[in-house]
Amino acid sequence: MTLLMIATLLGVMTSALAHADLASGLAAFRGGDYGLAMSQLQPLANQGEAQAQFYVGVAYQKGWGVIADPGKAAAWYRRAAEQGMNKAQHNLALLYLRGEGVEADALKAREWFERAAQQGDMRAAHELGLLYFRGMGVERDYGKARNWWEKAAAAGESSAASDLGILFRRGQGGVPRDVAASIKLWTTAARAGLPAAQNALGACYMNGDGVEADMLEAWAWFRLAAQSGLTVAEINAEMARGQLDEAGQAAARRRFESLRAELAALTAAQPATP
């Protein structure tokens, strides 16, 4: 009995120490001290700790604290993914899709995206919708693309909302054309800060497509997208500006500043990413 109690106590202590090392390693990783993080996470990853394996994979993919090695990143992601970690499944799928560290394989990308999406990873659900939309690794199916994007958009994935807006605007493959729905989706994604959606919404206001034409509003959304580096939005902003007189341009700048402050406040109110 005494030996059993000692063994149990040692097991509890070992588990507690491992947990403390994991917490410390994750804190160092998120704080940017990658050397310290790897010194604590690598041993745990070797012992089979899925979270540690995932972050070691991230380190090798990004070259943070180690020499970048996409092959090692894929190997560590796979070990965590096989334990059911959806973030690792998502990242491994991306590597298969891009052919980074592994041979490009859309079928395997689809498999891992789907496993992650089934566990509620909405980034993976968005990517899975893209595969069905493009017919990569699966037969092209706009209905399935819509289903995955609707799930992701409902969970707040702005990229899925933006792409779903495109699908409704075009009305492809049996998906009914719904301009009002596309405007609503693009507005949601644009207010979440997605440049592509901001540009699309600006185009709607510039052309009076689904909304009343409003060159001030168009220019403000184009400028928001352009400040993120979207070249086409910069071009569109110049086109919109050319249709405004001096007073209109001043009013457009005020609208832009007001909109930018509003969206910044929305971003600041969002919970921090874990």
Mean pLDDT calculated for residue range 77-106: 97
Residue 274 has a pLDDT of 45
pLDDT of residue 175: 84
Q: What is the pLDDT of residue 12?
A: 41
Measured over the CA atoms of residue 145, residue 146, residue 147 and residue 150, the dihedral's sign is positive
Note the pLDDT of residue 10.
Answer: 46
Residue 4's pLDDT is 60
pLDDT given for residue 101 in this prediction: 96
Rounded CA-CA distance 58/73 in Å is 6
pLDDT of residue 103: 97
Average pLDDT, the chain: 91
More confident residue, 221 or 176: 221
Tell me the average pLDDT across 104-131: 96
* Mean per-residue pLDDT, 13-18: 48
Residue-level pLDDT at 17? 47
Between CA 72 and CA 78 the distance in angstroms is 10
For the cut 50, the answer to whether the pLDDT of residue 211 exceeds it is yes
Neighbouring C-beta atoms of residue 10, cutoff 10 Å = 10
pLDDT at 109 over 80: yes
Q: What is the pLDDT of residue 2?
A: 64
pLDDT tens readout for residues 183-201: 999 999 999 999 999 999 9
Q: Is the pLDDT of residue 265 over 60?
A: yes
pLDDT confidence band for 61 (50 / 70 / 90) = very high
Question: What's the confidence (pLDDT) of residue 173?
Answer: 77
> Which residues, 6 or more positions from 37, have their beta carbon under 8 angstroms from its beta carbon?
25, 26, 28, 29, 55, 59, 65
218 pLDDT band, cuts 50/70/90, is very high
Q: Buried b vs exposed e over 233-260: b needs ≥16 C-beta within 10 Å?
A: beebbeebbeebeeeebebbbebbeebe
pLDDT above 90 for 169: yes
Taking residues 1-28, what's their average pLDDT?
64
pLDDT band (50, 70, 90) for residue 14: very low
Q: Looking at per-residue confidence, does 274 or 229 come out higher?
A: 229
Position 66 pLDDT exceeds 90:
yes
Query: What's the sign of the alpha-carbon dihedral 147, 152, 155, 159?
Result: negative
Cα–Cα distance measured from residue 212 to residue 235, given in angstroms and rounded to the nearest whole number: 22
